[in-house]
Amino acid sequence: MDFTGKVVMVTGGSRGIGRACAVAFAKAGATVVLSYAGNEAAAEEAVRLAGPNAKAVKFDVRDTAACTKAIEDVVAEHGRLDVLVNNAGVAVDGLSMRVRDEDWDLQLDTNLKGAFALARAAARPMMKQRSGAIVNLVSVVGEMGNAGQVAYAASKAGLVGLTKALARELASRHIRVNAVSPGFIETDMTSKVPAEMRKRLLDSIPLARLGTADEVAQSVLFLASDAASYTTGEVLKVNGGMYM
């Protein structure tokens, strides 16, 4: 999986899975542009870890004009865009009867509308190149559902549909669109799960452990690479067997 000479954008690249993806692509030889919404210190650390061929850009994926400009800026600076990783996402948990409209909108706009806006913008230079790969980060929750995460599940399930439809639309231009569906991964968020809940969670995973961000990143790299040249419209599960 050699990405030498390739230009890659990773959204939500300052922490967690996004950071792991940015670092992995950079180690594989890519020029990496990672986006972040607000945590400048985390973004700077991600760039440091990724190395000299990485840079961070700040914008809100809910702003479709900002998404378009971010893609245009990458192409203007580097002359091309080979891979887009739609990783930026947010979750606001709550039972359906208590979900506020603004929390619903936040999750749908960030997780689904933002991914579409970026994919739409990225498709233009990729169509001119007649090559490219888009990888969307979905979730096991979008596949199997989860009480207390109706908005998050809906946004991620929508992203699965978006992946498959875009894959059909863009295949004739040699652009592949796939998704990686992580299960429960060791991140800042899961580190705060109470011990009893964590035990119940581990009991539901056949591999009996949480995954790592690096394990997810390797699946993203595979789907973006020439090693997956005949794969499009696929949702690759990285969940330890939790949902098959």
Q: Known catalytic residues? A: 152
C-alpha–C-alpha distance, residues 118 and 100, integer Å: 26
Tally of residues, the chain: 244
Under DSSP, is residue 11 helix (H, G, I), strand (E, B) or coil? coil
Under DSSP, is residue 59 helix (H, G, I), strand (E, B) or coil? coil
C-alpha–C-alpha distance, residues 107 and 113, integer Å: 9
Q: CB neighbours (10 Å) of residue 99?
A: 17
Contacts of 181 (CB under 8 A, 6+ apart): 138, 139, 140, 142, 143, 160, 235, 236, 237, 238, 239
C-alpha–C-alpha distance, residues 192 and 199, integer Å: 13
